[in-house]
Each structure stands twice: as C-alpha cells, then as structure tokens.
Amino acid sequence: MDIPPEIKIKSTIKIGSVYYFIEESLNSPQPHYFIVLNINPREDTVILLVCASSQIDKIIKRRRTCPNNTLIEISPDEYPDFKVTSIIDCNVVFERTIDQLVDKLANKKLR
C-alpha cells in the first residue's frame, strides 16, 4: 500500500527533518539538503528551511562579515546521509508551506 505524499510529509515533519530537492531560486541545477527549523512545523503555516552546501570555502568567503556561529559545518560522521562535509548558512532562510513540500514529493522532486 502506497502512503499518500500528504500523509508522508504531514505525519513525519519535525524540527531537524531533512529534505533533498532542487531549489529553483538557487543558481544550481543540483539538489541540496534542506533542514527544517520550525519547532512545531505541523502547526505552522510557513516552514523555515536552511540549505546545506558542500562549497564550504565559497560560503565562508561570501559570509565573511557575518558572525561565525551563523555558519555550521556538518560532517558525514554526524549525519550519514551527507556524503561530504557541508556547511549550513543560517543567514539565508527559505520559506515554504507544507503543501509545497507535499507537491514536490508527489511529483518525485523531493526525497
């Protein structure tokens, strides 16, 4: 039995959930990992996501005037789904709705 995308997302989304998809507003055709920031995303109308990038030096250089604690490095040892050490830029937050995530999953554009 296939579980509908709406139920898959709405029943499992929580703070720290990670989704992998192409973000159209980025200058990259490659998918990225996005991490949910909301404490209770099932109740919120807007889902706040931060993006992980493997281009660590580029992100650090771009954010050199930002506080260091707004850039978080994460390694495959800490999160095995990451294939390489990545950086999370907390200075850029993406806003999406649960329905947008459901649509991406329904169209096989999210995992």
Q: List the CATH number of the domain containing 70.
A: 2.30.30
Mean pLDDT to the nearest integer, 35-42: 95
Contact 110, 104 (CB under 8 A): yes
∠ CA 24-60-48, nearest 5°, is: 45
Identify whether 56 is part of a domain: yes
How many structural domains comprise the chain? 1
Q: Tell me the one-letter amino acid at 94.
A: F
**pLDDT at position 81:** 79
Measured at the CA of 108, the angle between CA 85 and CA 7, to 5 degrees, comes to 100
Tell me the per-residue pLDDT of 45-100, one tens digit each, with 9 for 90 and over: 999 999 999 999 999 999 989 888 999 999 999 888 788 999 999 999 999 999 99
> Residue 107 pLDDT more than 80?
yes
Q: Where are the strands (E) in 1-96, listed by range? A: 18-21, 32-36, 47-53, 71-74, 86-89, 94-96
Task: Tell me if 30 is assigned to some domain.
Answer: yes
The whole domain housing 98 covers 5-106
Task: Say if 111 falls within a structural domain.
Answer: no
pTM, entire model:
0.89
Residue 1 pLDDT > 80: no
Q: Which residue is associated with the tokens 């990670």?
A: 18
